[in-house]
Amino acid sequence: MLEIKNLTKRYGNKTAVSDLSMEVRGGELCAFIGHNGAGKTTTLKCVAGILGFDEGEILVGGVSVTDDPILTKKKLAYIPDNPDIYDFMTGSQYLNFIADIFGVEEDVRRENIRRYASALELSEEEIAMQIGSYSHGMKQKLVIISALLHSPDLIILDEPFVGLDPKASHALKEIMRDFCASGGAILFSTHILEVAERLCDKVAIIKEGRLITCGSMEEVKGDASLEEIFLDLEAE
Amino acid sequence: MMLKALFRKQFAELVAQFFRNRRTGQVRTRAGGYAFIALMAVIFIAMGASFYFLAQGVFLAVPEGMAFLYYFVTGLIAIAIGLLGSVFNAYATIYNAKDNELLLSMPIPPKYIVFVRVTALSAMSALYEAVILVPAFLVRVIFRPVTPLVVVNHILLFLFVTLFVVTLTLALAFVVAAVARKVKRKSLVTVVTSIALLVLYYYLYFKAQNAMSALMTMTEVPKGIRTWLFLFYYMGLAAEGDAASMAIFAGATTLLFIVAYILLSVFFRRFTTARRSASVKGKVGDVRAARPGTALFQREMKKFLATPMYILNCGLGTLMMLLAGVLVFVKAEVLFAVKDALLSVFPRMDGGVFALVMVLLVASMNYLTAPSVSLEGKRIWVIRSLPVSTKDVFKVKIELHLSLTLLPPWYRTAPMVYAFRPGVLSSVMMFFAVTAYVLLAAEFGLALNLLKPFLDWKNETVALKTGPSVLISVFGLFLFVLGLGVLFLPVSAVLADGYYILILFVLFALGDALLMRWLGQGGVRRFEMLN
């Protein structure tokens, strides 16, 4: 579903991501971990088509994000670490806006909004409110719902659990599991290694812009905990 | 100790205004900070000088035996200016200050927080008052001998007029805060209120001239002043050395201030910690599908309608053009006179270029695209992650400008054609030229903003008011249109209006095509590099 080949991204003289290659197949839930400034967000933004890159290739469902960015964006959903969205809209208006852009049928969007809003416990009244009055967690929930409206094949999430209450956090994990069980692929960054260890079947670790390991959870961690492996790799 | 720490914080905040760039948040260099202070000082001295001449005019016009009128008038001007300068500042620094919750979370009694904030507000108000009352005092000293009591009372009046302005400011800011808490459609209320205040300002400005004339010709103090405006009457008397009047004015002002301070201390926590009640009735089931292009356009329009500063800064031209269209009919005789005067100097003109320049000048008041990229701010990830082409994003930004700016100039052009009766070619070409110009202005603003975007703002007003693209759009287009008008003055001897407008249309259309081409290539590249 997602193939990243030799990705290199520079900001001026600084190389944020260097020669990174990895793959996430349909049905896989892949955690992307690394310390602050390692290049996680840059990689995810390149995949989502928000950032251009200097070298390499990114394929979503076999389509290059540089050759046909519109088509690849239709196949994926991106959820950023900081859900800055339109304060001047209500939650409902925002969801309709996103659904319109993706061309989601009215009955499908209604059903999806009900389903995911109910799972994440965002009430009808809250969805009808102005986004300007939302808390961080409510915005995060709204962005997650909006990302799922068009039933994407691939979801890219950057620190998705930040700001979510425990129930919503649990619900999101369930949604992620169900999504992958039905053939979708997920790549998400996180600093919560316990969550990554319990939730994911694949893990990729990035350090100073370079991928230092990527494989199934069992392959990477063996009998140790993910935290131990991560700290060992970081120390090297 | 606690108060000292609070004052130190407040003072640091005040100083930071001079040594920190509001737009970027970056600390200015020491030299830059002092240069900014020097610029402010020059502005204040220039304003003080102009008020000196105003005060001199008032003083010389005061009739014999009505000496109280001098300070009655200058004091009221000082109060009005102080209010205008401070009311929104008071709302922002007292009720809407970013650190209110932080301070309330500490063991600080709210009355201390209020006290420090009100003191800072008083210092700023005193600065505004000084610009008017110091020149007023100088005029009084220079033009008539003063007794020690007059000098003392002027000093006291400076303090108590400032206190009076602070009290009124607190009361008005209280109303603003109460409205902001309750109102659901804040943007609409803000726009309507701002326009109403603008109209009221001009109404009062013209009325004040008549009132001044009436005041300056009266021979005895009217009953209305003694009863309804008694406080200001005593203020005027106090300035002439009347101790009892000074005591009444000082006593009444202090009493009002104490009441306002107590009320503010009591309600401070409630107002500053109340969550905004911005809920809107609706249901999740309220879904209505639209085409992607329509959805993008609706996003731009919602953004515009929900941001009062956007409407007032960048879209006021629409209202002005509609009003100007009506004025052409109502005040047609003025236009006929202008046309006659113009034709008497430049007999070969038919008035078409003049009419066109007037329409384009008003159309230049709208510059909706100039801040449109900057306004995406940190939310730019939304549009960049969606399956829409950058050209489509540009298209709707230009469409928003055209939808609000194209119809009014057409509507405005019609009465101008009626009033000026230019030749057929001029009349027809005016419509084409206006259309091409409005598109040019939209593309120009967008291109400028792509060249100089500013996404890292904390307050939208900064993106709307201070971005280079906005400033260049506002002044650049205005000067460009004026230049086209001035250029025609010598050219009119050899070229008829209609042909000049035809040339302008061709140039505008060429500019449209070139800018469109750049937007589609370099502009797209620049937008796609933003994040």
Least confident stretch, A139-153, B332-346, B376-390: B332-346
Longest dimension (CA), chain B: 80
The full DSSP string for A123-156 is -HHHHTSBGGG--HHHHHHHHHHHHHTT--SEEE
- Give A164-181 pLDDT, tens digit per residue: 888 888 989 999 999 999
Please tell me which residue of chain A has the smallest CA distance to B292: A101
Residue A67 in contact with partner chain B when CB distance is under 8 A: no
A69: part of which helix (H) or strand (E)?
helix A69-75
Residue B78 pLDDT exceeds 60: yes
Number of Cβ pairs closer than 8 Å across A and B? 119
Span of A190-194, B76-80, B204-208, B238-242 with lowest mean pLDDT: B204-208
Supply the DSSP string of B408-454, one letter for each residue: HHHHHHHHHHHHH---HHHHHHHHHHHHHHHHHHHHHHHHHHHHS--
* pLDDT above 90: residue B307: no
What is the CATH number for A160? 3.40.50.300
Is residue A220 assigned to a domain? yes
In whole angstroms, what is the distance from residue B453 CA to residue B458 CA?
14
Mean pLDDT of B207-218: 76
A117–chain B Cβ distance below 8 A for any pair: yes
Query: The domain containing residue A158 runs over which residues?
Result: 2-82+153-235
Q: Is B342 helix (H, G, I), strand (E, B) or coil?
A: helix
- Indicate whether A96 belongs to any domain: no
- Degrees, nearest 5: CA angle A172-A175-A179: 140
Of A48, A99, A132, the CB nearest to B278: A132
CB contact under 8 A, B289 and A104: yes
Q: What is the pLDDT of residue B405?
A: 87
Q: What is the pLDDT of residue A7?
A: 93
Which of A217-221, B287-291, B328-332 has the weakest average pLDDT? B328-332
Compute the nearest-CA separation of B456 from chain A (Å). 12
Contact between A149 and A111 under an 8 Å Cβ cutoff? The reply is: no
Calpha distance B362→B356 (Å, rounded): 10
Q: Where residue B277 falls among pLDDT bands split at 50, 70, 90?
A: very low
Can you give the pTM of this predicted structure?
0.71
What is the structure's pLDDT at B102?
A: 67
Contacts of A98 in chain B (CB under 8 A): 386
- Which sequence spans correspond to the domains of chain B? 50-272, 292-529
pLDDT at B530 over 90: no
pLDDT at B283: 55
Dig out the tokens for B46 from the structure.
């220039």
Q: Which residues, other chains included, contact A232 with Cβ-Cβ below 8 Å and sequence gap of 6+?
A: none
Put simply, whether A105 touches B (Cβ < 8 Å) is yes
**pLDDT tens, residue by residue, B460-491:** 777 787 778 888 888 899 999 999 999 998 88
Task: Give a yes or no: residue A66 inside a domain.
Answer: yes
* Section B98-112 average pLDDT: 75
- Interatomic CA distance for residues B418 and B420, integer angstroms: 6
- Cβ <8 Å between B284 and A50: no
Residue B360 has which token pair?
Answer: 């384009």
Give the pLDDT confidence of B380-402 residue by residue, as tens digits: 999 999 999 999 999 999 999 99
State how far the Cα of B460 lies from the Cα of A135, in Å rounded to an integer. 19
Inter-chain CB proximity B529 and A52 less than 8 Å = yes
**A97 inside domain:** no
The residue to which tokens 């959870």 are assigned: A217
CB contact under 8 A, B279 and A51: no
A59, part of any domain: yes
* Residue B219: pLDDT over 80: no
What is the structure's pLDDT at B21? Answer: 64
Contact A127, B286 (CB under 8 A): no
Look at residue A9 in the predicted model and tell me its pLDDT.
92
Report the range out of A42-56, A185-199, B295-309, B508-522 with the highest average pLDDT. Answer: B508-522
> Token digits for B132?
């008017």
The proportion of chain B whose per-residue pLDDT surpasses 70, expressed as a percent, equals 90
| Total structural domains within chain A | 1
Best-predicted range by mean pLDDT among B185-199, B246-260, B294-308?
B246-260
User: What are the tokens at B91?
Assistant: 């709302």
Inform me whether the pLDDT recorded for A205 exceeds 80. Answer: yes
Q: Does B1 touch chain A (CB under 8 A)?
A: no
Quick check: is A135 in a domain?
no
Rounded CA separation B265/B104 (Å): 12
Å from A154 to nearest chain B CA? 13
ipTM above 0.90, yes or no: no
| Of A117-126, B35-44, B442-451, minimum mean pLDDT range | B35-44
Closest to A128 in 3D by CA, of A95, A99, A98: A95
- The region, left, alpha or beta by phi > 0 then psi within -120 to 50, assigned to residue B21 is beta
User: Of B287, B292, B307, which has the smallest distance from its Cβ to A88's Cβ?
Assistant: B307
Q: Output the six-digit token pair for B501.
A: 């407008």
Kindly state whether residue A53 falls inside one of the protein's structural domains: yes
Contact call for residues B97 and B13 (beta carbons, < 8 A): no
In a domain, A11, yes or no: yes
**Residue-level pLDDT at B75:** 93
